[in-house]
Chain A
Amino acid sequence: MTLIRNTYQEIIHRLFRGDDRLLLIIAGSIAGVCSGIAAVVLRLSLEAVLEWLHHFRHFWWAFALPAVGAVASSFFLNKVVKEGAGHGVPEVIYAVSRYGGLLRFRSSFSRLISSFLTIGSGGSAGPEAPVVMSGSAIGSNIAKFFHLNDRQRITLVGCGTAGAIASIFNAPIAGLVFSIEVILGEWKFVNIIPIAIAAVAGAEVSHAIIPEQVIFNHQPFETGFNDIWGSICLALFAAMISVFFTRVLRQSGKLAKRIELPLWIKAAIGGCTVGLISMGMPVVLGEGYHYIQMMISEEFSLSIFLVLVAVLAKIVATSLTLGWGGSGGIFAPCLVIGSLTGVLFHKGLMALFPGAGCASEGAYALLGMTGLISGVMQAPLTGIFLIVEITGGYEAILPLILVSSIASTLSHYIEPASFYFKELIERGQFLRPGTDARILSDLNISELIETDMITVTDNRMFRDLIDILKTTEQDVFPVIGSQSGNYEGLIQISAIRKFALDPGMYDMIFVSQVMDSTLQTASLENDIQEIIDMMNTNRVDHIPVVENDRFIGMIKKTKILDLYRQELIMQTISH
């Protein structure tokens, strides 16, 4: 009996604990399925509510609909679930790099509901970032359920993200690539397989519930040699639009922060403005997939001037929706702006060179989408695979790669941080694995502090210190007040060497006379980065840690270096 039990335990250990690949694959596919369902639910309910609200669009008060949605969404996020507005992707990236992918359970549904309210009522935003947030929170909570460690939890967050993107676009490769390129930031063998499986699981769920294969159907594109020149120019144009879009989005958010009004009033102002814009330019409404389909199948008949206005209107509407309290992502707006950009470019090209043997307007709409996705997210692979998968347009792969790489490179050149990362970089929270900032943020003071230090009281004679010196290798001595017990200063051997060699001084001076009381001290709240900065500005190798005037311990530069190196090795090993 014991033999059977032991064998069973051994098998379980070998399969799941010793090597966690199987465990991650199983947990990852569960995460993929769950987040896939979440994504499908959001997509179907959005379709339903847009259909239902369509009947009210022609009333004069319809402009207020997005305002109602935005107010409800910001009320829900701030008061009910108490989470910040915005799209949530930077929060997921930060959670992955700082807290081992720890996300709250409520995040797995909060953004779904808020973005449903925002987008369903007509706000200009996309459902993808909310499902990313929700998928990653699902992955994180599945990891919690299985009692997994940080590294495994991060993989599951990636699985949830991949499943969500794969499901909402029915695009498994895009899900995989987005998850690794944007969310995790490192291509590791152990991550790729579970995430790939989760992506496929997500896509299968979506496929099972909504049978249609690709989101955007189109006629086969015929691309020729001339389109290479066309794509290069389009890529440059799309990069400009990307940078412009990113900047307008950020400025709008900053402006909203500066205005001191209750959140719901801001959301109402943003929503009403979007509603008013939509009166003249219905293309700005909602996630806009319907219009993308029209553009790809070349049923979109606006003049070149109106298309330009539409591009600007969509950019402004998205900035007002997301910056002023609405909830949703920039994926779908990027696709809409991208296809409008492509159409605009094609119309301009046709006007200038009527005889140019270029591909159709639909093909350029496709290329424009790639340009915008790659330019705004600075994730070229995501741009390529997403567009290929959602349109099934493999025949245009060469121009797609060209547009994607040029647009992402150029926008990276102008704006070094992508839309997702910029916020994190500004807050000092961009901590990719293996970087200095990441290693320093992972180290804690408690791991570095040396607490078993010999201290001396300030009323002792110098001779007493010399006697202590003879018995220890310690080279700095914290001085403690004899009355108060407080930290008073620090004695460094290098500073007292001169007096230590002169026995005539031993009975002449007190310990308190040779201590350095001007030295900056750290507290337990300081992070390692701040402590290293202190060491560099004061040019010292030791920093005493003092809390409520009490000496806690010392932090030494040599110790930081030791641990830093070990941490670097640990963070960069392949599992």
Chain B
Amino acid sequence: MELSVADMSNYLGVTPDTIKRWLKQGKLPVSKKGQTITFRRKDLENWARKNQIKLDFSKAAVKTEEANPRGENELVSLVQAVERAGVFPGIPGNDTSEVFESAIAGMGFVPETFKSDLLSRLLEREAALSTGIGNGIAIPHPRVQPEYIESPAVLIGYPREPLAYNALDGKAVSVLFFLLCPDLKNHLHLLSVISFCLRNDSFVSFLKSGPKTADLLEKVGLLEQTYSI
């Protein structure tokens, strides 16, 4: 098998210029055919064994940028996540716990057997530190990812009455983003997107006006396109 300078630079993890310098200095076993420089695999293997150099010709050794070493899944957009869970106007309940309970009851994508577990996880997170980010908005989410949920989901809920929430600025909460992701990576990503959207004042006032689901999704979609960090 014959290898080119580009192949060698891949296998050894150095630039082709380095390979060329090593060739000029006579450090690599090369077989030239006229002007083209090629390496014979057998020669290289002998050379590597003799000089105690680790040389792995298997495909794993070639560094590819798209390779994802931990096999993580792709990121989900906020629109997809909201489409999955939907919008829930007028959630009944008098306090945080009751509102959460009714909201979870309406989540079709959460298996029945895990609903009480999800509620306790959400409340546990609130007990640690309120998720009310101020300005009447809160992002309830569990601290430990609920692995029983199939894919990331964001439910936008409006409590029937503004909710006393122990938020940072003390304001009552009128919009809730229930953020439920099975994996941490999407969780952090969606949290970051939501935070980005909520920095846009016109979006916040639009959100609080209680728009139709389709309009809300369209707006979120437009805003998400400008998301950049």
Contact = CB atoms under 8 A, between A and B. Distances in A.
Contact of A508 (B70, B133, B199): B133
B164 interface: no
Interface string B40-54: 000000100110100
Given A425-B52, A461-B129, A513-B184, A508 B229 contact: no
Contacts of A513: 143, 184, 187-188
B133 A507 contact: yes
7 contacts: A437-B52, A498-B229, A502-B195, A505-B195, A508-B131, A508-B133, A513-B184
A508 B195 contact: yes
Interface in A461-510: 461, 498-499, 501-502, 504-505, 507-510
Contacts of B50: 416-417
A5 interface: no
A494 to B, nearest CB: 14
Given A430-B52, A502-B195, A510-B143, 4 more contacts: A428-B52, A504-B199, A509-B188, A509-B191
Interface string B134-168: 00000101010000000000000000000000001
A514 B196 CA distance: 18
Interface string A536-573: 10110000000000000000000000000000000000
A323 B187 CA distance: 64
A518 interface: yes
A508 B196 contact: no
Interface string A453-464: 000000101000
Interface of B: 13, 46, 49-50, 52, 69-70, 128-129, 131, 133, 139, 141, 143, 168, 184, 187-188, 191-192, 195-196, 198-199, 229
A502 B143 CA distance: 19
Nearest to A514: B188
A536 B13 CA distance: 10
B188 A502 contact: no
A5 to B, nearest CB: 53
B141 to A, nearest CB: 8
CB-CB nearest 4 A-B residue pairs: A504-B195, A416-B50, A498-B229, A502-B195
A538 B143 contact: no
B49 A416 contact: yes
Nearest to B199: A504
A505 B199 CA distance: 12
B188 A499 contact: yes
Nearest to B132: A507
B52 A505 contact: no
A499 to B, nearest CB: 6
A416 B47 CA distance: 9
Nearest to B63: A539
B133 to A, nearest CB: 6
Contacts of B70: 518
A34 to B, nearest CB: 35
A425 B51 CA distance: 10
A430 B51 CA distance: 10
B129 A507 contact: yes
A35 to B, nearest CB: 31
A14 B198 CA distance: 78
Contacts of A508: 131, 133, 139, 141, 191, 195
Nearest to A436: B52
Contacts of B141: 508
B36 to A, nearest CB: 26
B145 to A, nearest CB: 9
Contacts of A435: 52
B109 to A, nearest CB: 22
A342 B195 CA distance: 88
B168 to A, nearest CB: 7
A507 B168 contact: yes
Interface in A415-469: 416-417, 425, 428, 430, 435, 437, 459, 461
Interface in A5-32: none
Contacts of A437: 52
Contacts of B229: 498, 501-502
A538 B70 CA distance: 10
Nearest to A461: B129
A76 B133 CA distance: 80
Contacts of A501: 229
Contacts of B49: 416
Contacts of A425: 52
Contacts of A502: 192, 195-196, 229
B63 to A, nearest CB: 8
Nearest to B189: A498
A505 B190 CA distance: 11
Nearest to A504: B195
Name, among A425, A437, A502, the residue most crowded by chain B CB atoms within 10 Å (CB to CB): A502
Given A461-B129, A498-B192, A504 B168 contact: no
Name, among A498, A507, A514, A538, the residue most crowded by chain B CB atoms within 10 Å (CB to CB): A507
A438 to B, nearest CB: 11
Nearest to A505: B195
A326 B10 CA distance: 49
A192 B131 CA distance: 76
Given A513-B184, A514-B188, A416 B46 contact: yes
B7 to A, nearest CB: 19
Nearest to B53: A436
A505 B198 CA distance: 11
Contacts of A518: 70
A2 to B, nearest CB: 57
B47 to A, nearest CB: 9
A498 B187 CA distance: 13
A538 B191 contact: no
Nearest to B47: A416
Nearest to A459: B128
Nearest to A498: B229
A105 B124 CA distance: 68
Nearest to A412: B50
Interface string A266-297: 00000000000000000000000000000000
Given A508-B131, A513-B184, A499 B69 contact: no
Contacts of A504: 133, 195-196, 198-199
A538 B68 CA distance: 11
A363 to B, nearest CB: 34
Contacts of B191: 505, 508-509
A538 B69 contact: yes
A179 B168 CA distance: 78
Contact of A539 (B69, B133, B184): B69
B69 to A, nearest CB: 7
A459 B128 CA distance: 9
B166 to A, nearest CB: 12
Nearest to B141: A508
Contacts of A509: 188, 191
B137 to A, nearest CB: 10
Name, among B52, B70, B128, B198, the residue most crowded by chain A CB atoms within 10 Å (CB to CB): B52
B221 to A, nearest CB: 20
A561 B49 CA distance: 25
Name, among A461, A498, A509, the residue most crowded by chain B CB atoms within 10 Å (CB to CB): A509
Contacts of B52: 425, 428, 430, 435, 437
A526 B199 CA distance: 48
